[in-house]
Amino acid sequence: MNADNSRKLIVLAAIWIVLLLAPYWMAPLGGYTALATRVLVLGLAAMSLNFLLGFTGVLSFGHAAWFGLGAYGAGLTLKYLALSTPLAILGGMLLGGLCGALLGTLIVRRRGVYFAMVTIAFGQVFYYVAFQWSSLTGGDDGLRGFARQPLDFGVFKLDILTNADTFYYFVLFCFALAVGAMGFILRSPFGRTMIAIRENERRSRFLGIPVERHIWIAFTLSCFFMGFAGALYALVNNFADPRGLHYSQSGDFVMMAVMGGMRSFWGPLLGAAVFVVLQDYLSSITVNWMSFVGLLFVLVVLFFPRGLLGFLQRSKA
Amino acid sequence: MNVLEINGVTKRFGNLVAVRDVSLNVAKGELCAIIGPNGAGKTTFFNLISGFFPPTSGTIIFDGNDITRLATHERVTRGMARTFQITEIFPELTVFENVRIAVEVADGYRLRPWINRTEAARVHKHVETTLKLVALDIKADRLVGELAHGDQRAAEIAMALALRPHLLLLDEPTAGMGDQETYQITQLIRRLHRDSQYSIVLIEHDMRVVFHLADRVCVLDQGRMLAQGTPQQIAANEAVQAAYLGSAA
């Protein structure tokens, strides 16, 4: 039991060291810092989805909606409301999270395929709103004309706009906050009721857990995390794209989570890293890069049903 | 004082009347066994008590309060716990974790995003006491899904006990068990009843178990309450014999 705990601590330390040093080892390996930033943001999104999928056992196939709303929330805040990066993130998180919370009340009674279908449908509603409402969202062209702002701490300023490394560390800080919150919740009594619902809904009900209410809370939390990730994504690109709300984007997130390992906390980050790096590398060679990612996905699902990280853990044990 | 008072409960599914005007009182500390041929409506009756679905008519009073229309989890919160014919547990969690979830919910921590040391220690202790009661304390760190069938049943009972129920509903606790396991579970239920004074309603097919445990036996047949009485009275009842022989023929 104790050896198990210390091994977990070592793995955790290793993950954070790798993330902290990313700007230094990415370049020699042929990468660049902005790629690492993308991995972090999309990884956070995949982990937010997995908060619901892997730990409550509820598959949402429309989670890109909250991600995209987060991006628009951040962009619109910067463009029309306040020239402040923290407020932009807050705006994105609130837009994604509150819309998710509202929608959640309508869908928590559905299960399985029906839940997935309803989330796709509602996700597409938000996609078409963003697509059609050109005067506000820029329509098909996306939302432009905003940029992340330097962080002003009074005594000193952090230039996250032009310095890629500084921005990476800012994103890593945000990532750490969100991931820390997720980990904290999952270790709490509430987090354990989520796992209980995943494991056996009927038993959970007969232990006195109001299952629908707990799924709604987990769904809402997941939407807030998703909006947070989406807001960061808008800051990465200084741009918000309606395709960020599209169900194919939702599919990408599910793919990252499943490929990395949806039963593990860190799996989706690994999945996102593989996905983003492959996309970056292959898309410079062929326009059909998605076929290769798809092929890899099929292989992982066939041969490592617990995902890449699940496989690594299994072979170590 | 009655823990449970069921007055003229009927459940229809379309044209089928699964339970027809059944009444039953369970006194505090009593062990009441429900028997009956297959399809007699025993499990439907159990589902009505535990709130799987509401009855078509009739009322259910639990601890003096009308719970006829309450949702399942609200009945559980008021002190009603049940196990199932097919064991319902959290297979990928350890025995300890299975019971801990039950304890945390019972202690009102289910919505809490944190738990402090004193509370965690109290939960821990309660889990251990419960596991000792069903003799699973030595297997606390095993995954429930990997345990033998009898131990899984015991784990499910432990989860029910962890809720500190006023009434325990056991749906065929010895289903699918060999003689040895049946004996162990029977002894466990006997201890819970005799030593810990639990009020228990159970459905059971194994007559040895029923006659060994029950204070009172209720016979359901075709959705009706055919007879109630002590095990000796039921054994001597001609209508009961006819129902069983009839269904066997």
Contact indicator for A56, A120 with CB cutoff of 8 Å: no
Give the separation between CA B128 and CA B145, rounded to whole angstroms. Answer: 19
Token pair 């064991």 in the structure block, residue: B87
Provide the pLDDT for residue A163.
Answer: 86
Q: Where are the domains of chain B?
A: 1-79+165-249, 89-164
Predicted TM-score (pTM) of the model is: 0.92
Closest alpha carbon within chain A to B98: A196
Instruction: Specify the CATH superfamily of domain B1-79+165-249.
Output: P-loop containing nucleotide triphosphate hydrolases (3.40.50.300)
Q: pLDDT band at A315, cuts 50/70/90?
A: low
pLDDT confidence of residue A316: 58
**What is residue A317's predicted lDDT score, i.e. its pLDDT?**
52
Cβ–Cβ gap B100/A200 under 8 Å = no
| Min Cα–Cα distance to chain A from B232, Å | 34
Give tens-digit pLDDT for A147-201. Answer: 898 888 878 888 888 888 999 999 999 999 999 999 999 999 999 999 999 999 9
3-class secondary-structure state, position A157: strand
In this predicted structure, what is the pLDDT of residue A200? 95
Residues of B with CB under 8 A from a CB of A: 50, 71-73, 76-77, 81-82, 84, 88-93, 97, 100-102, 104-106, 109-115, 141, 159, 163
What pLDDT is recorded for position A129? Answer: 93
pLDDT at B249: 41
Output the average pLDDT for chain A.
Answer: 92
With an 8 Å Cβ cutoff, are A192 and B100 in contact?
yes
pLDDT the model gives residue B243 = 78
Q: Which residue in chain B has the smallest CA separation from A186?
A: B113
pLDDT confidence band for A102 (50 / 70 / 90)? very high
Mean pLDDT per 10-residue run, chain B (249 residues)? 93 92 94 90 93 93 94 94 94 96 95 92 96 93 93 94 94 89 92 92 90 92 91 87 65
Question: Residue A151 belongs to what H/E stretch?
Answer: strand A151-152
A206 touches chain B (CB under 8 A): yes
How close does chain B come to A82, measured CA to CA in Å? 32
Give the count of Cβ contacts less than 8 A between chain A and B: 79
ipTM of the complex: 0.91
Torsion of the alpha carbons at A175, A179, A180 and A182, rounded to the nearest 10: 150
Mean pLDDT of A69-97: 94
